[in-house]
């Protein structure tokens, strides 16, 4: 479970409620597995008093993996982008090694199944161009190695010839899918987020769709 509060006092109150609930149901929190993170532009520099759970201070961390997505105090996604880039490298190398003698159609099916499922990538909205490009290059190289194509062949050309979605198409579809689900959700919080014209995430996704769409328009 995750507790969010705008202040230390608010967080302490939430923790007391949790402790009371656990005690009344014969439960006890594992303090060693519980951690605290301070969000903000300069979260790592903010000094806060100790926060206790079950009488023990909680360990303060600079990053935390929640449901597979790595969170950092500055809310940037570079660390999570790098996590997915490394995972893609492992999966792609495994497929290229084990299925080297398979037909092209089999390899394309394996690539779609194992190398395009970027977990939580649709949540990326605050990252550097360097980390994003490194991930894109890894994606392109994975397809080249699997299909035994020349190292410097055209990325757009090889994906078009194979009828496989390129990196930008995959990211565009994932963002569009998540935005559609948010806007169609009956959850009050999600409806509020989708209805805000100043929502950074929704604007980022819509901007990504426009930018990537323009890349494929003829001059």
Complete DSSP assignment for 25-75: TT----GGG-EE---STTGGG------EETTEEPEE-S-EEETTEEE-TT-
Q: Which conformational region is residue 75 in: left (phi greater than 0), alpha (psi within -120 to 50 degrees), or beta? A: left
Q: Are 60 and 36 in contact (CB under 8 A)?
A: yes
Question: Where along the chain do its domains lie?
Answer: 8-62, 75-164, 165-219
Q: What is the pTM of this model?
A: 0.81
Residue with tokens 């980390």: 131
Residue 195 per-residue DSSP state:
T
Q: For 37-62, what is each residue's pLDDT tens digit?
A: 998 755 456 788 889 998 899 999 98
Mean pLDDT across the chain, nearest whole number?
A: 87
Residues 6+ apart with CB under 8 A from 124: 77, 80, 81, 132
């Amino acid at each position: 479970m995750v507790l969010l509060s705008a202040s230390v006092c608010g967080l302490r109150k939430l923790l007391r409620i949790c402790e009371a609930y656990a005690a009344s149901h014969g439960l006890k929190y594992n303090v060693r597995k519980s951690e605290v993170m301070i969000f903000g532009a300069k979260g790592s520099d903010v000094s806060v008093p100790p926060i206790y759970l079950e009488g023990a201070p909680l360990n303060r961390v600079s990053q935390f993996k929640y449901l597979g997505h790595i969170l950092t105090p500055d809310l940037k996604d570079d660390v999570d982008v790098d996590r997915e880039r490394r995972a893609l490298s492992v999966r792609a190398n495994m497929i290229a090694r084990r299925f080297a003698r398979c037909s092209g159609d089999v390899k394309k099916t394996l690539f779609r199944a194992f190398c395009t499922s970027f977990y939580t990538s649709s949540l990326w909205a605050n990252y550097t161009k360097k980390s994003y490009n490194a991930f894109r290059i890894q994606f392109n190289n994975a397809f080249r190695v699997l299909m035994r194509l020349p190292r410097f062949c055209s990325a757009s050309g090889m994906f078009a010839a194979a009828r496989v979605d390129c990196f930008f198409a995959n990211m565009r579809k994932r963002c569009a899918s998540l935005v559609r689900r948010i806007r169609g959700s009956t959850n009050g919080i999600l409806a509020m987020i989708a209805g805000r014209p100043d929502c950074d995430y929704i604007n980022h996704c819509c901007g990504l769709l426009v930018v990537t769409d323009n890349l494929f328009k003829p001059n």
